Amino acid sequence: MTAVPTGNLGDDDRLLDDAVAAFYAAQVEHSHLIQHLAVMNDLNPVDLRALQFLGAADEDRTPKELGGYLEMGTGAVTALLDRLTRRGFLDRVRNPDDRRSVRIELTADGFAVVGALRSAYRRALQRSLPRESVEVFITFTERMADAFRDPSADEADEVH
């Protein structure tokens, strides 16, 4: 869904540029947070992203799903899973529906790392988001996620 600007086009362009700059600034600080939490847990940022992905759903994930999320090949995913298993953050369990495949589940230590990340997000939101704006924020972030998932929805703005 594309927002329809109102008012002077030049003012709308400047306002969108300011919004992009604010978004970039938030991304930089988010990257710093991820780096900090990774270092605090003796992980690299990709390891932390993997744990975050695995902790975001109520069901176990497959190595293929994790590789798709991280845009990593089979060998790199295997090395990552070996590393996180050795560290005690996850377990590979046989899929009861298909003995040839495995599922990945977080251990208590893995959930603790994901919990620390969620706590950091909660603190940031509590400090920056007025209570009366939470539902607007949820709607906004869901729409932003949809827009990132389908960048071709507005091909007029596509960069070649």
64 CB contacts (<8 Å, ≥6 apart)? Answer: none
How far is the C-alpha of 44 from the C-alpha of 86, rounded, in Å?
Answer: 15
Positions of the chain with pLDDT lower than 70, given as ranges? 1-9, 153-160
Q: How many CA atoms lie within 13 A of 133 on its CB side?
A: 9
What SS3 string covers 136-155? HHHHHHHHHHHHHHCHHHHH
Render pLDDT for 111-134 as a digit per residue (tens, 0 to 9): 999 999 999 999 999 999 999 999
Q: What is the pLDDT of residue 154?
A: 58
Q: 81: closest CA among 90, 94, 68?
A: 90
Give this prediction's pTM: 0.78
